[in-house]
Amino acid sequence: MTPHLSRRTLLGLAGAGAGAYLLSACSGDDKSGDPNAPQTINWWHIQNTEPMLPVWAAMANEYKAAHSNVTFTIQPLENEAFKAKLTTATQAGDPPDLFQSWGGGVLKQQVDAGLVKDLTDDVKDLVAGILPAAMQPYTIDGKIYGIPFDIGMVGFWYNKELFTRAGITETPTTWTGVLDAVRKLKAAGITPVALAGKDKWPAHFYWSYLAMRIGGVDALQKAVDSKNFDTPDLVAAGERLKELVDLQPFQKGFLGAEFGSPDGQAATMGNGNAGMELMGQWAPAVQASSSTSKKGLGDKLGFFPFPSVDGGKGAATEVFGGGNGFAVGKDAPAATIDFLKFLLSVENQKRSAQTNAVLPTVKDATSAISDPNNKAVAEALSKNTGFQLYLDQAYAPALGQQINDSVAEIIAGKKSPAAIVKDITQVAKTA
């Protein structure tokens, strides 16, 4: 899911978003395991805009300077473009050497297909210093197949100035309170909610959180285990979401909006044109990079966790989210794992944290978190009593995609909450 989805690329890395950025010419490539042989690491990531794009590039340059036999081919890609390109590569049995991963069901499918390396023995010392919750999505059948560099949660990011103008004096603590805030924002002539309807995955955050708040975090696990999403709690989640949709809270043209495009969800927030958005820990950075000023809302931006639902069984301390990490392709050269360790060093994790775009996973780097909103996210995450990975990553790809598609149908008014759980169940039975 996640971050830095603007289609712009940093000046000086021309063509990075569309093709490959070579740090130096390739003088040969050896994947035999000889650490001193010429090696080229093909690295795909989704930090395709500031602030992390230049940070990753700098780290690769630093590693190359210390390892003269190593070169890089780097492809920074927009989120959806990345997923499409990776699908093509994995179907061909030719994954990149180092690539973005959110873990979960997608990673398991790659593991089952023999496309990624088992990192368990190589990263024992590194993992000892990483937050345990961050490792869960990358640990499959007791073995480690990926390393997270970022961890966080989805919550509401709101414009303090617009809330004040609408007469909202306190952030909502219940779903009813969210709906009331939407009504007040509309009454004040303010677009209440920014949403990337075209991308679909941002909308699935709402249904997933409502399912957790109504049925508890176990409701989703029971549904996937039993291959049955047609339950009263999950239907109710759609009904609560429809309450929001019926208020017509989203910006004009939201059904065609992407997350990180110049007129998309993040830009709508970053330019001060909406009251709030439901998004992960990367939201402030993408709001800033997508905004006209390139600064976003600054101290006008606030954060609050997804609230409880009256009568629901789920606690407000159960969180929905995940992080960003990297997996290593099956034929990656020997230096790839060493470079991954370099990216996750305490020093480099602190550098990443200082951009305010990354919440570090290395315990000794968490002191570098300085942004008040990032601290609020980290604090809420530290108090969690249950954790659910994004559904389109936690589940098998076909099931995750169906959830995204089905929630989009509620958002667009095309299907009822009762109908979409039947569609999801049908896919769950075969996924």
What mean pLDDT is reported for the chain? 91
| Residue 20 in this model has a pLDDT that exceeds 60 | no
Residue 50 has a pLDDT of 84
* Tokens found for residue 167: 């007469």
Strands 276-279 and 301-304: unpaired
Q: Is 15 helix (H, G, I), strand (E, B) or coil?
A: coil
Residue 22 has a pLDDT of 43
Domain 39-151+322-381: CATH class, spelled out = alpha beta
Greatest Cα pair distance, the chain, in angstroms, is: 67
- Model confidence over 282-301: pLDDT tens digits? 899 899 999 999 999 999 99
Which superfamily is assigned to 155-320+390-430 in CATH? Periplasmic binding protein-like II (3.40.190.10)
Q: Is 13 helix (H, G, I), strand (E, B) or coil?
A: coil
Residue 30 has a pLDDT of 52
| Residue 94 in this model has a pLDDT that exceeds 70 | yes
Mean of pLDDT values over 316-327: 94
Name 214's Cβ contacts closer than 8 Å, sequence gap at least 6.
233, 236, 237, 240, 309, 312, 313, 314
If phi > 0 it is left, if psi is from -120 to 50 it is alpha, else beta; for residue 93 that is: left
**Quick check: do 39-151+322-381 and 155-320+390-430 share a fold?**
yes
- Model confidence over 209-220: pLDDT tens digits? 999 999 999 999
| Residue 29 in this model has a pLDDT that exceeds 90 | no
- Model confidence over 114-148: pLDDT tens digits? 999 999 999 999 999 999 889 999 999 999 999 99
Length of the chain: 431
More confident residue, 332 or 356: 332
Phi, psi of 132 (to 5 degrees): -55, -40
DSSP states along 96-141: -SEEEE--HHHHHHHHHTT-B---TTTTHHHHTTB-HHHHGGGEET
Q: Nearest CA to 119 among 99, 139, 100?
A: 139
Domain definitions of the chain by residue range:
39-151+322-381, 155-320+390-430
pLDDT band at 33; cut points 50, 70, 90: low
pTM, two decimal places: 0.82
Q: Nearest CA to 202 among 367, 79, 82?
A: 79
Instruction: Determine which helix (DSSP H) or strand (DSSP E) holds 379, and give its type and residue range.
Output: helix 372-382
